[in-house]
Amino acid sequence: ILLKLNSQEAAAWIKAAPNKETFLTKLGGEAAIKDWHYNIVIPFLPITTNTKRPETLCDMESANNIPQGLITQIKWIKDLAKCAPNQQVAHTLASLTSPEVTNQLLRDRLYWGFDRLHPHKDKKEPIRCLKCQCIGHLARDCKQMEDTCSICAQAHCMQDCNPTTHYCINCYYHVHRWEGDLFPGISAYSRIN
């Protein structure tokens, strides 16, 4: 059930603990009220940070003068088991329940330990196969046998490319390559899907 309220005051009222409990009891079953989450990417967080501990989230909130409980989770974008042995920092995705606090962190930065980290918005990109570079599926579902370079669209890995020519496999264009913002069709594709 999606409940749409007519004001922010009504939303705050229904989220207050006694009202929330009464409302959920009357609905019965497995009903729950979920908060809207705002995601930001926190780059270069030390990998020694235990993001699974609730105390870590509380410490991060207090270090940045954020009310308790607004950072709901922080998860590593890349599995730490796949990081290089000497790697000391990695990127994380943080979920917050307040748009004001999210904007505050984007504007004023995030302090963690002795580091001043520069979070940015989580940019939504279309699903792209890293094997054939086509939009709409992942590499695990790809039917193509060999890799396709994301720079020149030839049959080799991007690491082996001599980037003298650019070619986009998705729009058959020789001026740009497929690399996030360089692909002009990304905003149109994101709007459609």
To which residue do tokens 């990304």 refer? 186
What distance lies between CA 172 and its chain's CA centroid? 29
Q: Decide if pLDDT at 182 tops 70.
A: no
What are the pLDDT digits (tens) for 61-85? 999 999 999 999 999 998 898 888 9
What average pLDDT does range 11-37 have in this prediction?
Answer: 85
Kindly state whether residue 189 falls inside one of the protein's structural domains: yes
Identify whether residues 42 and 104 lie together within a single domain.
yes
Nearest to 42 by CA among 25, 26, 22, 63: 63
> Tokens for 170?
């998705």
Identify whether residues 131 and 150 lie together within a single domain.
yes
Q: Decide if pLDDT at 154 tops 80.
A: yes
Question: Is residue 153 very low, low, confident or very high in pLDDT (cuts 50, 70, 90)?
Answer: confident
Q: Which domain holds residue 110?
A: 38-121
What contacts 188, CB < 8 A, 6 or more positions away?
Answer: none
**Predicted pLDDT at 180:** 52
To which residue do tokens 């729009």 refer? 171
Identify whether residues 138 and 172 lie together within a single domain.
yes
**Predicted pLDDT at 56:** 95
Identify whether residues 93 and 156 lie together within a single domain.
no
Stronger pLDDT, 62 or 17, i.e. the higher one: 62
What average pLDDT does range 94-113 have in this prediction?
Answer: 95
Domain termination site, one of 121, 138, 171: 121
Kindly state whether residue 173 falls inside one of the protein's structural domains: yes
**Predicted pLDDT at 140:** 86
Q: Decide if pLDDT at 186 tops 90.
A: no
Mean pLDDT of the chain: 85
Identify whether residues 94 and 74 lie together within a single domain.
yes
Kindly state whether residue 58 falls inside one of the protein's structural domains: yes
Domain termination site, one of 121, 145, 169: 121
Kindly state whether residue 72 falls inside one of the protein's structural domains: yes
What contacts 120, CB < 8 A, 6 or more positions away?
Answer: 40, 41, 43, 106
d(CA 73, CA 93): 8
Kindly state whether residue 1 falls inside one of the protein's structural domains: no
Identify whether residues 93 and 51 lie together within a single domain.
yes
Identify whether residues 89 and 142 lie together within a single domain.
no
Angle at the Cα of 59 (from 79 to 82), degrees rounded to 5? 10
Kindly state whether residue 9 falls inside one of the protein's structural domains: no
Q: Are 95 and 39 in contact (CB under 8 A)?
A: yes
Question: Is residue 26 very low, low, confident or very high in pLDDT (cuts 50, 70, 90)?
Answer: confident
Domain termination site, one of 121, 151, 172: 121
Kindly state whether residue 33 falls inside one of the protein's structural domains: no
Kindly state whether residue 168 falls inside one of the protein's structural domains: yes
Identify whether residues 43 and 91 lie together within a single domain.
yes
**Predicted pLDDT at 135:** 85
Q: What percent of the chain has pLDDT over 90?
A: 41
For 190, the 3-state DSSP assignment is helix
Identify whether residues 112 and 131 lie together within a single domain.
no
Of these ranges, 25-29, 46-50, 162-166, the one predicted with the greatest mean pLDDT is: 46-50
Counting the structural domains of the chain, the total is 2
